[in-house]
A and B are shown apart, each in its own frame.
Chain A
Amino acid sequence: MICVERTVGLFVLLLFAAACSKNDGQEPSKASDVFEVPAHFPPPVYHVGEVGIGSGGFELGKRLFYDSRLSRDGTISCGSCHAQVHAFADHSSALSVGIDGNISKRNAPALTNLAWYPDFMWDGGINHIEVMPIAPLTDPNEMDNDLSELVNYLQQNTAYPDEFEEVFGSKQIDSQKILLAIAAFQGSIVSYRSKYDDYLTGQSQLSALEMDGKNIFEAQCSSCHSGVLLTDFSFRNNGLDSTFADAGRATITQNEADMGKFKVPSLRNVSLTNPYMHDGRIPTLRQVLDHYSEGIVESKTLDESLRDGLALTEAEKDALVAFLQTLTDYELLGDSRFHEP
Chain B
Amino acid sequence: MKHAIKNKLVLLFFAFGILMFQACSDDDDNNIDESPSAAEGSVELKFDHVWGPAEANFELNTEYTHPATSEAITFTKLRYYVSNVVLQKSDGSEWREDQSYHIVDVASDDTNLRLQNMPAGDYVGISFTIGVDSARNVSGAQTGALDPSENMFWSWNSGYIFIKAEGNSPASVDGSFTYHLGGFSEPNSAIREVSLDFGESTLRIAPNTEPAVHLMANAARFWHGGISLNDMSNVHMPGSNASILATNFAGGFRFDHIHN
A125 to B157, CA, bound (A): 4
A: number of interface residues (CB 8 Å): 42
Is B140 touching A8 in the complex (CB atoms < 8 A)? no
Q: Which residues of the partner chain B approach A146 to less than 8 Å between Cβ atoms?
A: 149
Kindly count the residue-residue contacts between A and B in the assembled complex, taking CB atoms under 8 Å apart. 98
Q: From the candidates B16, B149, B156, B159, name the one contacting A174 in the complex (CB within 8 A).
A: B149
Say whether B19 faces chain A, with CB atoms less than 8 Å apart.
Answer: yes
Chain B: interface size category: 20 to 34
Say whether A208 faces chain B, with CB atoms less than 8 Å apart.
Answer: no
Is A12 touching B5 in the complex (CB atoms < 8 A)? no
A207 to B191, CA, bound (A): 57
The 6 closest A-B CB pairs, nearest first, are: A130-B140, A147-B149, A179-B141, A130-B141, A127-B158, A128-B140
Task: Given A8-B9, A19-B24, A254-B239, answer yes or no on A131-B156 (Cβ-Cβ < 8 Å).
Answer: no
Interface membership of chain B positions 32-59, coded 1 if the CB is closer than 8 angstroms to chain A and 0 otherwise: 0000000000000000000000000000
Is B149 touching A148 in the complex (CB atoms < 8 A)? yes
Report A172 CB to chain B, min CB distance, Å. Answer: 11
Q: Which residue of B lies closest to A130 (CB)?
A: B140
Please provide the chain B residues from 1 to 37 with a CB less than 8 Å away from any CB of chain A in the complex: 1, 5, 8-9, 12-13, 15-16, 19-20, 22-24, 27
Is A138 touching B155 in the complex (CB atoms < 8 A)? yes
Q: From the candidates A4, A15, A135, A148, name the one contacting B155 in the complex (CB within 8 A).
A: A135
Q: Which residue of A lies closest to B137 (CB)?
A: A127
Say whether A23 faces chain B, with CB atoms less than 8 Å apart.
Answer: yes
Is A19 touching B23 in the complex (CB atoms < 8 A)? yes
Say whether B126 faces chain A, with CB atoms less than 8 Å apart.
Answer: no
Report B5 CB to chain A, min CB distance, Å. Answer: 6
Please provide the chain B residues from 153 to 174 with a CB less than 8 Å away from any CB of chain A in the complex: 153, 155-159
Report A226 CB to chain B, min CB distance, Å. Answer: 24
Say whether B147 faces chain A, with CB atoms less than 8 Å apart.
Answer: yes
Q: Which residues of the partner chain A approach B147 to less than 8 Å between Cβ atoms?
A: 147, 174-176
Please provide the chain B residues from 128 to 184 with a CB less than 8 Å away from any CB of chain A in the complex: 137-143, 147-149, 151, 153, 155-159
A19 to B23, CA, bound (A): 9
B-to-A contact residues, CB < 8 Å: 1, 5, 8-9, 12-13, 15-16, 19-20, 22-24, 27, 137-143, 147-149, 151, 153, 155-159, 237-239
Q: Which residues of the partner chain B approach A229 to less than 8 Å between Cβ atoms?
A: none
Q: Which residue of B lies closest to A168 (CB)?
A: B22
Interface of A is mostly: helix
Among A13, A134, A180, which residue has the most Cβ atoms of chain B within 10 A?
A: A134
Report B243 CB to chain A, min CB distance, Å. Answer: 12
Say whether A40 faces chain B, with CB atoms less than 8 Å apart.
Answer: no
Q: From the candidates A52, A129, A147, A180, name the one contacting B148 in the complex (CB within 8 A).
A: A147
Among A9, A137, A151, A176, which residue has the most Cβ atoms of chain B within 10 A?
A: A176
Q: Which residue of A lies closest to B240 (CB)?
A: A254
Task: Given A19-B23, A129-B140, answer yes or no on A134-B12 (Cβ-Cβ < 8 Å).
Answer: no
Known contacts A22-B27, A138-B155, A174-B147, then 13 further A-B pairs from the complex at CB < 8 Å, ordered by chain A residue: A1-B5, A4-B9, A5-B8, A16-B20, A19-B24, A127-B158, A128-B140, A130-B140, A130-B141, A139-B155, A147-B147, A147-B151, A179-B141
Is A51 touching B15 in the complex (CB atoms < 8 A)? yes
A175 to B155, CA, bound (A): 13
Q: Which residues of the partner chain A approach B15 to less than 8 Å between Cβ atoms?
A: 51-52
Is B16 touching A12 in the complex (CB atoms < 8 A)? yes
Q: Which residues of the partner chain B approach A151 to less than 8 Å between Cβ atoms?
A: 149
Q: Which residue of A lies closest to B23 (CB)?
A: A20
